[in-house]
């Protein structure tokens, strides 16, 4: 079946390819940026934490404003602000100035999320879970490609900034492409969604229970894969004894696992498997694979674990969590997106600060921290699963 919003969706997905690069571009260029700013890895980690502050500043508000003013303005705001981030980092002479541009990156991410996730759910009301999970495929593709680019640049002695320039160019070209593409009317889309939704949460949904669990899960799911994406390369080189190229490639294996999960999950969701069914399984696999990675830090274990963690923690489980939350709290998709991802933005802010300090003593402690975080996520996923079934069982009754 043809969907008139497919060209729009393609453009929105391309934005998240660049976002995937942006999430790890500071970590992948730690040495070059540390020299530019006169600091070490812990100092760069402080700048990385600024992305979380930027998301915190505007995400909750931008989600509500997206419901009021539409999706397109926030998508363009996100693209423009991201361009300022990539350009600003290249010319930042110190941590202080870089921190400001890092905040802009977090703001850009918030704008994109507030416009994109609701737009996709409204464009594809019969398969909102699949539409959201595909975002993760493009994020993973960006995270797969960037380490390869950085590795090539380092090995050839080229200027580190070429990857930043590439990101800017993609945004500019994509912005022109998106200019005349249609966006769905969210009020009409909400009515259409109501018509195609098979189940509605007619049982009593308690924000103090389900809502709080989703907020905590938003934090945990973001923290689990964000921590790995920032520190896996360092863990491979310093703890597992891998070389520079091999340790950087771990992020690519991680991204391949994420892509594999996206395609598998998308196929299964289309076959009437529910997003809620994946939360418990994927979160448990994340916990188990992180535990193995911490207990047996060898190059082979790092490679296998990178793939499995990418599959389970970064393969769209956060997007599925948002889809389930929107199903249980169907009023105002932009607001729900803002609430859920605000929790994730707190993780983006706090995790780099914590791990930056841990990196001064032992990188292995960072992975141990992630083991504990993933275990808490597993417990939350079980609670959400039980509450979801209880609510919708009542609805059916």
Residue 195: pLDDT band (50, 70, 90) is very low
End-to-end, the C-alpha distance of the chain in Å comes to 34
Residue 246 has pLDDT above 50, yes or no: yes
pTM for the model stands at 0.74
Alpha carbon separation from 274 to 121, 280, 301, 329, 342 (Å, rounded): 15, 12, 31, 16, 24
- pLDDT tens for 360-377 read 888 899 999 999 999 999
Give the lowest-confidence range in 126-130, 140-144, 159-163, 358-362.
126-130
pLDDT at res. 188 = 60
List pLDDT tens digits, range 83-109.
999 999 999 999 999 999 999 999 999
In this structure, is the dihedral angle defined by the CA atoms of residues 236, 379, 206 and 312, taken in order, positive or negative? positive
In Å, what is the CA distance from 255 to each residue of 60, 106, 113, 142, 206?
28, 21, 20, 8, 36
Confidence check: pLDDT of 382 > 50: yes
The answer on pLDDT for 51 being more than 90 is no
pLDDT for 335 equals 77
Q: Cα–Cα–Cα angle for 149, 151, 154, nearest 5°? A: 110
Residue 271 has pLDDT above 80, yes or no: no
| Domains of the chain (ranges, CATH numbers) | 6-396 (1.20.1250.20)
Helix H segments across the chain? 6-28, 30-37, 41-69, 72-90, 95-123, 128-156, 162-178, 186-196, 212-238, 244-270, 275-295, 299-313, 317-328, 333-358, 363-396
Give pLDDT, residue 393: 67
Distances in Å between the Cα of 277 and the Cα atoms of 117, 216, 282, 310, 341 are 21, 18, 9, 18, 21
CA gap 258, 306 in Å, rounded: 10
Range of weakest confidence among 101-110, 171-180, 282-291, 342-351: 342-351
Lowest-confidence range among 190-199, 241-250, 288-297? 190-199
**pLDDT computed for residue 291 by the predictor:** 96
Q: Which of 320, 309, 297, 293 is nearest to 256 (CA)?
A: 309
Tokens representing residue 14 in the block? 């391309």
Query: What does the pLDDT average to over 62-67?
Result: 81
Low-confidence winner among 14-18, 256-260, 326-330 (lowest mean pLDDT):
326-330
Q: Quote the pLDDT of residue 397.
A: 46
Mean pLDDT confidence for 341-358: 83
Do 37 and 92 meet the contact criterion of CB atoms below 8 Å apart?
A: yes
Using only C-alpha atoms, the chain has a radius of gyration, in whole angstroms, of 20
Write the CB contacts of 68 (distance below 8 Å, at least 6 apart in sequence): none
pLDDT higher than threshold 80 for residue 201? no
What does the pLDDT average to over 215-239? 88
């Amino acid at each position: 079946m043809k969907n008139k919003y497919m060209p729009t969706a393609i453009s929105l997905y391309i934005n998240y390819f660049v976002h995937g690069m942006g999430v790890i571009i500071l970590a992948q260029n730690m040495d070059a940026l540390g020299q530019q700013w006169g600091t070490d890895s812990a100092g760069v980690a402080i700048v990385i934490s600024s992305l979380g502050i930027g998301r915190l500043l505007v995400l909750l508000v931008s989600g509500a404003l997206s419901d009021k003013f539409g999706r397109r303005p926030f998508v363009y705001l996100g693209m423009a602000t991201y361009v300022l981030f990539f350009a600003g980092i290249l010319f930042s002479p110190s941590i202080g100035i870089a921190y400001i541009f890092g905040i802009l990156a977090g703001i850009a991410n918030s704008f994109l999320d507030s416009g994109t996730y609701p737009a996709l759910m409204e464009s594809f009301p019969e398969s909102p879970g699949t539409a959201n999970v595909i975002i993760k495929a493009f994020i993973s593709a960006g995270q797969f490609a960037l380490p390869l680019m950085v590795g090539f640049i380092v090995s050839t002695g080229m200027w580190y900034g070429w990857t930043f320039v590439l990101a800017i160019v993609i945004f500019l070209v994509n912005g022109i492409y998106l200019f005349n593409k249609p966006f769905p009317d969210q009020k009409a889309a909400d009515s259409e969604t109501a018509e195609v939704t098979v189940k509605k949460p007619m049982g009593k949904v308690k924000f103090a229970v389900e809502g709080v669990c989703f907020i905590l899960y938003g934090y945990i799911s973001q923290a689990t894969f964000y921590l790995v994406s920032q520190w896996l390369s360092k863990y491979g080189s310093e703890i597992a004894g891998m070389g520079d190229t091999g340790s950087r490639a771990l992020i690519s294996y991680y991204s391949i696992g994420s892509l594999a999960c996206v395609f598998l999950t998308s196929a299964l969701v289309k076959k009437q498997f529910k997003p809620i069914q994946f939360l418990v399984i994927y979160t448990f696999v994340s916990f188990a694979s992180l535990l193995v990675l911490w207990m047996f830090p060898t190059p082979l274990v790092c490679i296998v674990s990178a793939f499995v963690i990418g599959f389970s923690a970064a393969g769209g489980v956060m997007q599925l969590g948002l889809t389930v939350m929107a199903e249980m709290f169907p009023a105002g998709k932009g607001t729900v997106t803002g609430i859920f991802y605000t929790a994730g933005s707190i993780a983006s802010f706090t995790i780099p600060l914590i791990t930056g300090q841990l990196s001064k003593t032992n990188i292995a402690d960072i992975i141990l921290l992630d083991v504990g975080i993933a275990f808490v996520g597993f417990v939350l996923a079980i609670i959400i699963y039980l509450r979801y079934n209880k609510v919708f069982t009542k609805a059916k009754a």
